[in-house]
């Protein structure tokens, strides 16, 4: 706002009151109250004379515009470049009240706000216009809040796709129209989202949702309407796409999922999907949506076994990628357990069970933030609570697949100790499954041999194992394992000859 060289006209007590020139001695109590309101009301107020020059304003207006009251006094409103304000001032000086709402940039400070401005004339008893008053309200936050509410009414905040309410509203609009083109609805469902949430946390689940939304968007044509319509479900509305559009979507979806899982396999994506194509003169598009949903469900049921196995194996690959020593440790444990099982004359199924536990026992560590590595992590590393939970999480992961479900009980209990000091259940003695007690002895030996950079020699390992017998380890099984070490039936390669 620029200052004018003209002197403001000020010939009414009202103008004097607004300008602050009326002294306390000749002002009534009511006039003083009005002046106090003018000074302290949290909206911008100003008075301008019959020539459009600001004669007074309050501190709220100055703060709103990012300037001072002194800088605003004497500004010629009719000389502003913003023609919206010029028109409003002109209307007020013609005896009319008017208002405008919009964005405004303060010439004094460059500050940008969205405001609502109302101007009305000040007239004497004869109707002569003496000037005008303006009320300026900063509605920036209000409009931002309205935009946010509108966003929430249409969009899913996690994926930034449209939500179910908006999607179904578009179906109703199409139903009511005379549109006769072929319509395609595709329903996609994330496999194992609940498992991801339960094992890796809801932040990982949200990341999976966002990645899935990105992949579906990349796989769809630009004119498609895409929405997240449920916890793990997405819907795609395509107009005039037909079977050719579905085939293109299927091909791109497969390629994009494969690319994601190869590049970012920490949270693998697996989707089930189904579709429906409208028939001639079909008027119930919600029925078409139900048909697509049923198609998706049939595929999900058909591929359930494959999808469950995929997610478990993906977790194992991620764990192995974090620590290259995991595979080597599993190989060593399998060798120990094979010799151990032969000495105990275990049946082939029982031995295979123990060997599988060597591979999958720590799959629950996939959930430990920043601590995916194998071995017994020190409690001082700050992961104690998460470490204690990895047995339960591993159990849930194993139950997700028919291939590994049989191992779930052993995975849950493989950190139980003979004296009851283990976790998560605090089992004692023979309450602990045999395969877990066998594994515990073999694992303890491997831990001692490969501890740090040097490890322990055979005599030291045997001494430590004897100390653990009856505490962490089954004393009877520990004695048999020690005998195998002494007979060199079990050898730890690279540690002694």
CB 245 within 8 A of CB 183: no
Q: Per CATH, which fold does 317-486 belong to?
A: Hypothetical protein af1432 (1.10.3210)
> Any idea where the domains of the chain sit in the sequence?
13-139, 155-302, 317-486
Separation of CA 122 from chain center:
55
Separation of CA 354 from chain center:
39
User: Which CATH superfamily is 13-139 part of?
Assistant: PAS domain (3.30.450.20)
Instruction: Supply the DSSP string of 114-159, one letter for each residue.
Output: EEEEEEEEEE-TT--EEEEEEEEEE-HHHHHHHHHHHHHHHB-TTT
Instruction: Show the tokens assigned to 318.
Output: 């991620």
Q: The tokens 């919600």 sit on which residue?
A: 286
Cα 193 to Cα 228: distance, rounded to the nearest angstrom: 14
**367: buried, middle or exposed (CB in 10 Å: 19+, 13-18, 0-12)?**
buried
Q: How many helices (H) and strands (E) does the chain have?
A: 19, 10
Q: List the one residue out of 43, 35, 1 whose CA is nearest residue 136.
A: 43
Q: List the one residue out of 242, 265, 254 whose CA is nearest residue 215.
A: 254
Instruction: Show the tokens assigned to 247.
Output: 């085939």
What pLDDT does residue 33 have?
75
Cα 161 to Cα 163: distance, rounded to the nearest angstrom: 6
Q: List the one residue out of 173, 186, 159, 2 whose CA is nearest residue 77.
A: 2
CB 458 within 8 A of CB 449: no
Buried b / exposed e over 259-296, threshold 16 CB at 10 Å, is ebbeeeebbbbbbbbbbbbbeeeeeebeebbebbbebb
Residues facing residue 163 across a β-bridge: 228
What pLDDT does residue 2 have?
56
φ, ψ for residue 203, nearest 5 deg: -65, -40
Tally Cβ neighbours within 10 Å of residue 202: 10
What pLDDT does residue 49 have?
94
Instruction: Show the tokens assigned to 466.
Output: 């004897």
Q: What is the pLDDT along the chain (497 residues), one digit of tens a residue?
A: 556 555 555 444 444 444 444 444 455 677 777 777 787 788 999 999 999 999 999 999 998 888 899 999 999 999 988 898 999 999 999 999 999 888 887 766 777 888 899 999 999 888 899 999 999 998 888 777 777 777 778 899 999 999 999 999 989 888 877 666 788 999 999 998 988 888 888 898 999 999 999 999 999 999 899 999 999 999 999 987 788 889 999 999 999 999 998 886 678 899 999 999 988 777 788 899 999 999 999 998 888 878 788 888 888 887 777 666 788 889 999 999 999 999 999 999 999 999 999 999 988 887 764 344 433 433 433 444 456 688 998 998 898 888 889 999 999 999 999 999 999 999 999 999 999 999 999 999 999 988 765 668 888 999 999 999 999 999 999 999 999 999 999 887 544 33
Instruction: Show the tokens assigned to 66.
Output: 């990012």
Q: Does this model's pTM top 0.95?
A: no
Query: In Å, how far are 192, 195, 272, 294 from 300, measured between CA atoms?
Result: 11, 16, 5, 10
CB 370 within 8 A of CB 388: no
φ, ψ for residue 49, nearest 5 deg: -85, -175
Residues facing residue 115 across a β-bridge: 102, 138
Q: Is residue 424 reached through a cis peptide bond, with omega within 30 degrees of 0 on the bond before it?
A: yes
Buried b / exposed e over 7-41, threshold 16 CB at 10 Å, is ebebebebbbbbbeebeeeebeeebeeebeebeee
What pLDDT does residue 407 have?
93
Instruction: Report the C-alpha dihedral over residues 368, 371, 377, 383, rounded to 10 degrees.
Output: -50
Residues facing residue 237 across a β-bridge: 185, 225
Cα 368 to Cα 272: distance, rounded to the nearest angstrom: 28
Structurally, what CATH architecture does the domain formed by 155-302 represent? 2-Layer Sandwich (3.30)
Instruction: Show the tokens assigned to 90.
Output: 């002109």
Cα 238 to Cα 248: distance, rounded to the nearest angstrom: 12
What pLDDT does residue 198 have?
83
Instruction: Show the tokens assigned to 93.
Output: 């000086």
Which pairs count as long-range contacts for 117-124, CB under 8 Å and 24+ apart, including other chains? Answer: 117/85, 117/88, 119/88, 119/89, 119/91, 119/92, 120/92, 121/92, 121/93, 121/94, 121/95, 121/96, 121/97, 122/12, 122/14, 122/15, 122/47, 123/95, 124/12
What pLDDT does residue 235 have?
97
What pLDDT does residue 55 have?
93
CB 8 within 8 A of CB 56: no
Q: Mind spelling out the 3-state secondary structure of 250-303?
A: HHHHHHHHHHHHHHCCCCCCCEEEEEEECCCCCCCHHHHHHHHHHHHHHHHHHC
Instruction: Show the tokens assigned to 340.
Output: 């151990």
């Amino acid at each position: 706002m620029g200052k004018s060289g003209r002197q403001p006209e000020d010939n009414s007590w009202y103008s004097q009151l607004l300008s602050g020139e009326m002294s306390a001695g000749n002002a009534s109590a009511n006039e003083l109250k009005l002046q106090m309101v003018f000074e302290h009301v949290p909206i911008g107020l100003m008075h301008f004379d019959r020539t459009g020059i600001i004669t007074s304003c309050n501190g709220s207006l100055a703060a709103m515009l990012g300037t001072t009251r002194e800088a605003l006094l004497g500004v010629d409103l009719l000389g502003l470049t913003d023609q919206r304000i010029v028109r409003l001032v002109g209307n007020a000086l013609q005896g009319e009240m008017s208002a405008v709402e919009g964005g405004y940039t303060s010439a004094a400070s460059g500050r940008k706000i969205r405001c609502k401005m109302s101007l009305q004339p000040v007239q004497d008893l004869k109707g002569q216009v003496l000037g005008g008053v303006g009320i300026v309200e900063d509605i920036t936050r209000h409009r931002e809040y309205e935009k946010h509410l509108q966003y929430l009414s249409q969009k899913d905040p996690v994926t930034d796709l449209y939500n179910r309410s908006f999607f179904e509203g578009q179906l109703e609009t199409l139903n009511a129209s005379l549109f006769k083109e072929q319509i395609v609805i595709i329903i996609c469902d994330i496999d194992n989202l609940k498992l991801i949430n339960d094992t890796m946390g809801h932040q990982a689940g949200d990341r999976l949702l966002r990645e899935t939304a990105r992949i579906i968007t990349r796989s769809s044509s630009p004119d498609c309407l895409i929405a997240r319509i449920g916890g793990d479900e997405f819907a795609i509305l395509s107009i005039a796409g037909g079977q050719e559009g579905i085939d293109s979507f299927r091909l791109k979806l497969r390629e994009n999922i494969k690319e994601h899982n190869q590049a970012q396999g920490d949270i693998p994506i697996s989707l089930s999907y189904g579709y429906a194509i409208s028939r001639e003169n079909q008027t119930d598009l919600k029925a078409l949506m139900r048909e697509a949903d049923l198609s998706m469900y049939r595929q999900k049921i058909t591929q359930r076994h494959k999808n469950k196995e995929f997610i478990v194996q993906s977790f194992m690959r991620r764990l192995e990628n974090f620590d290259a020593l995991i595979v080597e440790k599993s190989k060593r444990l399998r060798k120990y357990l094979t010799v151990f099982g032969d000495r105990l004359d275990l049946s082939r199924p029982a031995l295979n069970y123990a060997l599988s536990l060597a591979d999958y026992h720590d799959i629950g560590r996939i959930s430990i933030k920043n601590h995916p590595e194998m071995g017994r992590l020190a409690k001082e590393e700050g992961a104690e609570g998460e470490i204690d939970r990895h047995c339960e999480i591993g159990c849930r992961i194993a139950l997700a697949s028919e291939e590994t479900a049989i191992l779930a009980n052993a995975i849950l209990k493989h950190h139980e100790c003979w004296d009851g000091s283990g976790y998560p259940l605090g089992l004692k003695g023979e309450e602990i499954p045999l395969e877990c007690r066998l594994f515990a002895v073999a694992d303890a030996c491997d831990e001692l041999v490969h501890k740090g950079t040097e490890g322990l020699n055979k005599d030291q390992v045997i001494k430590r194992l004897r100390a653990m017998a009856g505490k962490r380890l089954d004393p009877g099984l520990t004695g048999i394992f020690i005998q195998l070490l002494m007979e060199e039936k079990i050898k730890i390669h690279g540690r002694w000859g």
